[in-house]
Structure 1
Amino acid sequence: MLLPKQYHFLFCIFFYVLNIFAQDKGKAVPFNQIISDIEKQHQVSFNYLEDNIAGLSLNPPKKSLSLEQKLQYLSRVTHLSFENIDNKFINVFKSENETQTICGYVFSALDKKPIEDANINVSGKIHITTDSNGYFEFSKRDRNTLLISHIGFSSKRITTANQDSKNCIQLFLEPEVTELKEIKANAILASGISKNADGAFEIKPKKFGILPGLIEPDALQTMQQIPGVNSIDESVASINVRGGTHDQNLFLWNGIRMFQTGHFFGLISVFNPNLAHTISIYKNGSSAFFGESVSSVVDISSTPETVEKNSFSAGINMINADIYAKYNLSKKSYIEFSARKSITDFLETPTYKEYFNKVFQNTTITDFSQAQDIDYKSDKKFGFYDATFKYAQKIGNKDQIVLDLITIQDNLEVFQSATVYNINKSENSVLRQQNYGGNLSWKRNWNSFNTTKINLYNSAYELLGNQKTSITDQVAVQENTVNNNGINLENQHILNSKFSLNDGYQFNEIGVTNLERVSNPDFYRKVKDVLRTHAFIVEGKYNDTLNRLYFKVGTRINYIEKFKKTIIEPRVQFNYGINKNLNLELLGELKSQSAQQIIDLQKDYFGIEKRRWIVADDSIIPIQRSRQISLSLLYKKNDWLIDLENFYKKVNGITTSSQGFQNQLEFVRTTGDYEVFGTEFLIQKKFNNFLTWFSYTYNNNNYHFPDYEFSTFPNNFKLAHTLSWAVMYEKNNFKIALGTKWSSGRPKTSPDVSQIDLSDPILVYNKPNNTNLHVFSQVNLSTTYKWESDNGIQYKIGISILNILNRKNEISEYYRIASLTNSIEEVETFSLQRTPNLSFRVSF
């Protein structure tokens, strides 16, 4: 008789279950041998504590059973728990009524492979390591803190308070790839100044030693000590790098382009020297992420590399007073504030008087009273200030947001009056120069290999001049404004410890407005131009310090919307250590610039700040483009340092109005280029507490204006020979420096007397820049001393003297027709006379 179908089904289930739990009859086998046989048959790995299986023997399960069936059998017989992870790993631990354990696996986040011999510190008391499968386990407590570490990986800390003992933890460690430190030539020129493998000079103001004439680490004054960097008129607003004009340099403060760089019309830097953390100066071979300059790059960052404690400092010298404060809001956020203001509003120090005489000589302000000594009155008000603010916030372990703000302003008001032959003459002049800027940046470390940084920035500059004359009842207003904003995106990809790749995108918009308004007769002109540029950047870097090899190559692709023009700018930096003492460096770059400064009239803005910003129109005002290459050898041994560099540089698209001509080319409008090649040499020796160095620069710098009758002649900023020497002594908290500068005179153009009718003179010149001024020579001294009180407050006093020998150095000379005598007049401008300065600072 056939059984019903349901009985057939139950009958099969019975024998199936019976088969599962049926065992081979025979001798008991040690547990570790049983699981070893299972590992071989099913290609799995068992993880367990020896104490849990010690002395355990049983009949092995049938080989014909599946893996899961065998685990069920072993669990029933041994009262152990078995956790199957993807049929690869089997965790063995005691049941919950036994001693509970925590288990886990440690894997690499990069390739998901197990990490063997990873160190695991349990609550600072138990130390265990992972096996070949990355497995570990330990006895569970109420709360365990694990610190997992392994060479080559970033450490990780977790808490296992609520961890289920049946489910193993899976931990992934991020590989730790640390870029090797770049080769640096430390203590070049002074402590706190070094030269990187990429050719940049790096200044750390907080580690700054001392230089002749400087008692504060002023960025723009300091960079003039670097061979190849000069200022022909002692102004930080007229810095010439390898023959270029000041506007051809890119000045960045925390990612914000600064269009005003000097207070007191160039005698003082606008960047607070007590604030900056790192200043990088590139004469050549700058990163492809730097655009809008055909000469040098000065990149100032006030963001510290490491977390710093709360601090406050205040100081005063014979020109200005300042304060600085940093306060940590939490472990992940802080604010930073600095402010500086001139003291000239209520005190005229000897330093101020020397500065004032130097700046305003041969201007409309000092010319007003010329040949007039009757009832002359003058009232001058001058002042400046700058302030910065930073807010930094870390979000989690991967993100950081930083907000930077800066404001700068200079104000000059001059009222002059005189009575001549019962005629009252008065003039009221107002000049204001200001620059505001802001930058918001977000940085995210996705992992140890990839970082993204985005920043939004804005920079607004204004130069306003207002002049009122009583006799003609004329009011003249001139205004130059610049509004620059944009967005930068930069990604960094670290491929390994030696090679990294950066890529990014930048959008830049610059708008320039020039306004002129005159009454009696009425005249009004306002011109506004806007340029928008898109830039795509890719840059790769190879840095192998073991083999002393550094190589960086990048390309910047600019697209200018208005002109529908694409400009490709490759950059290269190569540094090779021939041996441990000798380095070879090759730098090269192609760059472009769409904004520049011009001088329409030498009397613009009362003859003080004559330059105004304009943007290129791709015709009359072309886009400036440069190409430069340099080759240098750097030798270091036994505290000797020798640096020899040869370079070639050419800049196309310059205009005569941007070069400051005061000869027959002052009113000529044409375009051309300048070409310069030269040599820069530095030798330095450090012994005991002394550091001394000598530098020499030679450059042959010439203009080419093909449409002008004299197509080739010397550049206005040509200093064929420049020598500098300094010696510094530093011991404990006392520092002193003595140094001298010497340079051949800058070019000038003399009048052709043979062709001038002295009875009715009209200026006729010889060939442009046919002769030179007298040599420039100056000796400077500075010294500082720092001490600390018992309560931890630090005090610092500094004394400097510029031009100790009080030499009368001529820095400019030109000719004009004197209105009173109707004769040719030679106008000379001189450098600072002997100028002392004294500073005092307190910090805590």
Structure 2
Amino acid sequence: MTRKGILSIYIILFFLNITSFKAQTIQKEKQPLISVLKILEKKYNVSFSYADETIKGKILSAPDENLTLVEAIDFLKAGTNLDFEILDNRFIVVRVFDDITEPIKTQRLQEVIVSNYLTKGITQLNDGTTTIKPETFGILPGLIEPDILQTIQALPGILSVDETVSNINVRGGTHDQNLFLWDGIKMYQSGHFFGLISAFNPYTTKQVNVAKNGTRAKYGDGISSVIDMQLSNNIDNIFKAGAGFNLINADAYAKIPLSNKTELQLSTRRSITDLIVTPTYDQYFKRIFQDSDLTNTKDDSYSISQNEDFYFYDITAKFLYDITKTDRIRVHFLNVNNNLNYDEQSTINDNNESLNSKLSQQNLATGITYTRDWNERLSTTAQVYMSNYNLDATNYDILNNQRLIQENEVNDRSVKFDVNYNLNHHLKFNGGYQFSEIGVSNLEDVNNPVFRSYIKEVIRSHAIYAESSLLSNNAKTNLKFGTRFNYHQKFDLFLIEPRLSFSQRFFNDFRFEILGEFKSQTTSQIIDLQNDFLGIEKRRWILSNNNNIPIIKSKQISTGIHYNKNNLLISAESYIKKVDGITTRSQGFQNQYQFTNAIGSYQIKGIDVLINKQFNDLISTWIGYTYSKNDYTFDSLNNGESFPNNADIRHAVTLASTYTYEKIKFALGLNWHSGKPTTTTVANNEVVDGSINYEAPNSSNLKDYLRADCSATYEFDISNNTHATIGASVWNVTNKKNIINTYYTLDNQETVSKVENQSLGITPNVSFRLRF
């Protein structure tokens, strides 16, 4: 990026901040109820708990500043026709009057520490969890739709070293070390378009909970983070629907009341890339297929046809049935699918030959959940689910008369039983049991030379967990402590995993927190980089065998201090994480360790700093900085000495600003981070004994990464019941040529060639949506 370009962006950001002072002078008589509640929360040091639908559309003026809390509540009751029940000196429940005659299951909700964290629809809770609500989502730079897995990368400590949602690095971990849950069901595929788009439809997702540390005891697997995606779970007897498209895909969803006790939620999304070629598709295609069989031509007599057929789709369905006021059944279904076909053509002895290579990737999930409220304090939930992942690839090499078949299949069958007991508004307990049977198979079949390998592993695991949560009378102290006990039947192995979350408010505006956890996981991915799955999808799921593929174990602790006053948030969090049991095959080495099988560990130490200033709900500006040092240790490699992790991004900075005025939203941002580690060849001595001669592993770094993004949306009404949104975004506005990976190949055991993978170039996108 030129100095002029950088200066222009900073000028725009400065302008957005200056305009905020003018915005602060705008006073309106009436405003949305949610804005009034935020004012009262700060003034009286209370917390309102409510369903989004309860306060939706309610508009009134703020109570007089001289009123007491009780008088302000009476004012709200009169102006909204809602009931405000004061539970204690801190919590107030908001509900419609019609609900009062029905049995109410009252439970203490987690305290919201920061509302509109970065942008609208993102909140931070007092246990370290970040919650994202796509339905009320504001806007982020480069995004015109609330892509779930792109959105979480805006949070401190989370990034992707290769710009994809299929390689999300949370505090230095690999993608397979994240636990993805969709309505409680574990998912093994997270992306469309081979990682550039989230596989989960945001318009049917009610809430996403993201935890980087101090996770709940009920969560197993996922040593790096938990991304818990939840669909709407309540029947509100209101029909809702929507549809839209952008330059990559089209989608539609509907929430259909079938009766007073039943509801059906449906959504579908499909790519339009096989129907129309757009500039966005061109950039995505170049990014993903730049180092694959589709773009690597062997010689003049060999070529890949341009009639590749690529598409993706996803379908979700949820059936809700309230049997009684205290008994509920939910049925879940999800199908995520990617398909690619292309022709390999060659001329041999003046004969034209053509064979079809293909790749399909699918995650099919089904489940049923039953919940019963025994009384106002006790509730139980039972869930049974099946999650099946299948990757099927056939690759033809005409010149070598070779056909390669690769398959990877995961079958996950799980049963969960969860108990919640609220003793009072200050103390609650959670416990339960989970049984999992996970089978993973890998097939590799080559016809020339003849080779076939089929490996299947199965692990059955039992887990029990217990957790207690305590909130002090003044709501300043929050303590959550739990333990998960895992038993792996195959290895006769018992693991104990304590979890801790402690938060203490002091001086009213400061909060100190300590988070800690022990975790483990038995599933992981190996990465083969030699034309694996057509050179595109290079990850295959495997199971631990407690031998050359150990159970991965992690320990993490973090401390943080946060200041939040007058819409100014200053946050700093330091952490240290140690992970044992990783293998070189899971780390994506493309140097001297590419074909080495070794077991080791990594340790990361870091600090996340965030400064977020909001101006009158119109402008949100933030700067985030992350420093981390992430090192591998393999006893059998590099003489046992530590060396930088492949995901060791030492410095990362995010600078962004969003502006919202009535129906217009605009966002602009910069992302910069130091270059990822790489291994170069020895200068003037690149080949030794027919092999590439490398320098010390990861002893060099790529050039720094820099990207500027912008996006804008505009909402308008077509009729009283039909609302529309148009949007436009540009990813990498300055078309910066960022190198995100390099490696070397050896030709004829003599010549070394350097391969560089580039990030997405300037990528425009537009969208249009309707809501009914």
TM range (shorter): 0.7 to 0.9
Find out whether 1:205 has 2:134 as its counterpart. Answer: yes
Partner of residue 602, structure 1: 530
1:761/1:824 contact within 8 Å kept: no
Q: Helix, strand or coil: the match of 1:358?
A: helix
Find out whether 1:312 has 2:241 as its counterpart. Answer: yes
2:550/2:582 contact within 8 Å kept: yes
Partner of residue 420, structure 2: 492
The farther-off stretch of 184-193 and 249-258 is: 184-193
Q: Provide the C-alpha distance between the structure 2 equivalents of 1:175 and 1:475, rounded to a whole number of angstroms.
A: 63
Match of 1:725 among 635, 638, 655: 655
Which of 1 and 2 has greater Rg? 1
Find out whether 1:240 has 2:163 as its counterpart. Answer: no
- Counterpart residue identity of residue 620, structure 1: N
1:623-666 CA-partner distances (Å, limit 9, x unpaired): 00000001011111111111100000010000000000000000
Deviation of 1:365 (Å): 2.2
2:731/2:762 contact within 8 Å kept: yes
Q: Helix, strand or coil: the match of 2:592?
A: coil
Find out whether 1:818 has 2:753 as its counterpart. Answer: no
Q: Provide the C-alpha distance between the structure 2 equivalents of 1:496 and 1:422, rounded to a whole number of angstroms.
A: 83
Inter-CA distance 677–358: structure 2 relative to 1 (3 Å threshold):
same
Q: Provide the C-alpha distance between the structure 1 equivalents of 2:228 and 2:303, rounded to a whole number of angstroms.
A: 51
- Counterpart residue identity of residue 619, structure 1: N
Q: Provide the C-alpha distance between the structure 2 equivalents of 1:793 and 1:779, rounded to a whole number of angstroms.
A: 34
2:742/2:755 contact within 8 Å kept: yes
1:766-786 CA-partner distances (Å, limit 9, x unpaired): 110010000000000000001
Q: Helix, strand or coil: the match of 2:283?
A: helix
Inter-CA distance 467–568: structure 2 relative to 1 (3 Å threshold):
same
Q: Provide the C-alpha distance between the structure 2 equivalents of 1:388 and 1:731, rounded to a whole number of angstroms.
A: 34
1:218-266 CA-partner distances (Å, limit 9, x unpaired): 1100000111101011110000000000000000000111100000000
Partner of residue 501, structure 1: 429
Deviation of 1:339 (Å): 0.1
TM alignment of 1:122-141, pairs within 5 A: none
TM alignment of 1:71-150, pairs within 5 A: none
TM alignment of 1:363-762, pairs within 5 A: 363-367=292-296, 369-372=297-300, 377-419=305-347, 422=350, 424=352, 426-544=354-472, 546-688=474-616, 689-711=618-640, 712-757=642-687, 761-762=690-691
Inter-CA distance 477–687: structure 2 relative to 1 (3 Å threshold):
same
Inter-CA distance 607–243: structure 2 relative to 1 (3 Å threshold):
same
- Counterpart residue identity of residue 262, structure 1: G
Q: Provide the C-alpha distance between the structure 2 equivalents of 1:304 and 1:503, rounded to a whole number of angstroms.
A: 21
Match of 2:283 among 340, 345, 354: 354
Q: Provide the C-alpha distance between the structure 1 equivalents of 2:326 and 2:423, rounded to a whole number of angstroms.
A: 19
- Counterpart residue identity of residue 487, structure 2: Y
Deviation of 1:754 (Å): 4.8
- Counterpart residue identity of residue 534, structure 2: F
Partner of residue 158, structure 2: 229
Unpaired runs of at least 5, structure 1 = 1-149, 158-171
Q: Provide the C-alpha distance between the structure 2 equivalents of 1:151 and 1:379, rounded to a whole number of angstroms.
A: 65
Q: Provide the C-alpha distance between the structure 1 equivalents of 2:607 and 2:488, rounded to a whole number of angstroms.
A: 35
Partner of residue 37, structure 2: none
Q: Helix, strand or coil: the match of 2:281?
A: helix
Inter-CA distance 757–287: structure 2 relative to 1 (3 Å threshold):
closer
Deviation of 1:708 (Å): 1.6
Normalised by the length of structure 2, the TM-score is: 0.85
Normalised by the length of structure 1, the TM-score is: 0.78
Deviation of 1:602 (Å): 3.1
TM alignment of 1:134-173, pairs within 5 A: none
Deviation of 1:749 (Å): 0.3
Q: Helix, strand or coil: the match of 2:258?
A: strand
Deviation of 1:294 (Å): 1.0
- Counterpart residue identity of residue 483, structure 2: T
2:252/2:268 contact within 8 Å kept: yes
Q: Provide the C-alpha distance between the structure 2 equivalents of 1:353 and 1:241, rounded to a whole number of angstroms.
A: 29
Q: Provide the C-alpha distance between the structure 2 equivalents of 1:181 and 1:766, rounded to a whole number of angstroms.
A: 51
2:603/2:632 contact within 8 Å kept: yes
Q: Helix, strand or coil: the match of 1:184?
A: strand
Inter-CA distance 756–776: structure 2 relative to 1 (3 Å threshold):
closer
1:468/1:476 contact within 8 Å kept: yes
Partner of residue 715, structure 2: 786
1:243/1:718 contact within 8 Å kept: yes
Q: Helix, strand or coil: the match of 1:351?
A: helix
1:152/1:176 contact within 8 Å kept: no
Q: Provide the C-alpha distance between the structure 1 equivalents of 2:639 and 2:237, rounded to a whole number of angstroms.
A: 59
Deviation of 1:700 (Å): 0.3
Q: Provide the C-alpha distance between the structure 2 equivalents of 1:516 and 1:220, rounded to a whole number of angstroms.
A: 31
Partner of residue 701, structure 2: 772
Deviation of 1:545 (Å): 6.1
Deviation of 1:408 (Å): 0.6
Q: Provide the C-alpha distance between the structure 1 equivalents of 2:338 and 2:745, rounded to a whole number of angstroms.
A: 30
Q: Provide the C-alpha distance between the structure 2 equivalents of 1:797 and 1:304, rounded to a whole number of angstroms.
A: 29
Partner of residue 222, structure 2: 293
- Counterpart residue identity of residue 155, structure 2: I
Question: Kindly, what percent of the aligned residue pairs are identical?
Answer: 42
- Counterpart residue identity of residue 169, structure 2: N
Match of 1:804 among 722, 728, 733: 733
1:538/1:556 contact within 8 Å kept: yes
Q: Provide the C-alpha distance between the structure 1 equivalents of 2:712 and 2:234, rounded to a whole number of angstroms.
A: 29
- Counterpart residue identity of residue 802, structure 1: W
Q: Helix, strand or coil: the match of 1:482?
A: strand
- Counterpart residue identity of residue 383, structure 1: Y
Partner of residue 263, structure 1: 192
Q: Provide the C-alpha distance between the structure 2 equivalents of 1:547 and 1:376, rounded to a whole number of angstroms.
A: 64
Inter-CA distance 151–828: structure 2 relative to 1 (3 Å threshold):
closer
Deviation of 1:469 (Å): 2.9
Find out whether 1:342 has 2:276 as its counterpart. Answer: no
2:233/2:320 contact within 8 Å kept: no
Partner of residue 57, structure 2: none
Deviation of 1:371 (Å): 4.7
Inter-CA distance 374–586: structure 2 relative to 1 (3 Å threshold):
closer
Q: Provide the C-alpha distance between the structure 2 equivalents of 1:356 and 1:516, rounded to a whole number of angstroms.
A: 27
Q: Provide the C-alpha distance between the structure 1 equivalents of 2:102 and 2:682, rounded to a whole number of angstroms.
A: 80
The farther-off stretch of 223-232 and 415-424 is: 415-424
1:374/1:420 contact within 8 Å kept: no
Q: Provide the C-alpha distance between the structure 1 equivalents of 2:512 and 2:581, rounded to a whole number of angstroms.
A: 32
Q: Helix, strand or coil: the match of 2:383?
A: strand
Deviation of 1:427 (Å): 4.8
Q: Provide the C-alpha distance between the structure 2 equivalents of 1:547 and 1:375, rounded to a whole number of angstroms.
A: 67
The farther-off stretch of 708-717 and 611-620 is: 708-717
- Counterpart residue identity of residue 309, structure 1: I
Q: Provide the C-alpha distance between the structure 2 equivalents of 1:806 and 1:420, rounded to a whole number of angstroms.
A: 41
Q: Provide the C-alpha distance between the structure 1 equivalents of 2:527 and 2:104, rounded to a whole number of angstroms.
A: 57
Partner of residue 281, structure 1: 210
Q: Helix, strand or coil: the match of 1:274?
A: helix
